[in-house]
Amino acid sequence: MGFRRFLFGGAVVLALTSLTAAPASATGYHGRYLALGDSVAFGYRPAAVTPRTDYLDAANFRGYAEKYAALRSLRLANASCPGETTASMLTPGAQSNGCENSLGSPIGYRTNFPLHVAYPGTQVEYAVAYLRAHPDTRLVTITVGANDMFLCQNTTPDHCTSSFPAALRQVETRLSAVLGALRAHYRGSIVLVSYYSLDYRDATQVSQVRALDSALGQVARRYRGAVADGFTAFRLASLGSGGDPCAAGLLIALPGGGCDVHPSPAGHRVLASALAFAH
**CATH, residue 100:** 3.40.50.1110
Confidence of residue 18 (pLDDT cuts 50, 70, 90): very low
- Distance CA(65)–CA(141), nearest Å, equals 8
**pLDDT tier for residue 8 given thresholds of 50, 70 and 90:** very low
pLDDT of residue 196: 98
Measured at the CA of 57, the angle between CA 65 and CA 276, to 5 degrees, comes to 5
Q: What are the CA-CA distances from residue 51 to residues 47, 56, 215, 266 (Å)?
A: 7, 10, 36, 20
Across 109-125, average pLDDT: 97
Mean pLDDT of all residues in 69-98:
97
β 3-8/137-143 pair status: unpaired
**Amino acid 28: pLDDT:** 75
**Digit-coded pLDDT (tens) for 173-204:** 999 999 999 999 999 999 999 999 999 999 99
What is the rounded distance in angstroms from the CA atom of residue 272 to the CA atom of residue 278? Answer: 10
For residue 29, what pLDDT band results from cuts at 50, 70 and 90? confident
Per the CB < 8 A criterion, the answer to whether 65 and 81 are in contact is no
Query: Which neighbouring-strand residues pair with 8?
Result: 11
Structural domain for 74, as ranges: 3-278
Q: Are 138 and 132 in contact (CB under 8 A)?
A: no
Q: Is the pTM of this model over 0.85?
A: yes
Are 76 and 33 in contact by the 8 Å Cβ rule? The answer is yes
| Domain count along the chain | 1
What pLDDT shows up at residue 244? 98
- In the three-class reduction of DSSP (H, G, I as helix; E, B as strand; rest coil), residue 36 is classed as strand
pLDDT at site 30: 84
Residue 219 CA to residue 207 CA, distance in Å, equals 19
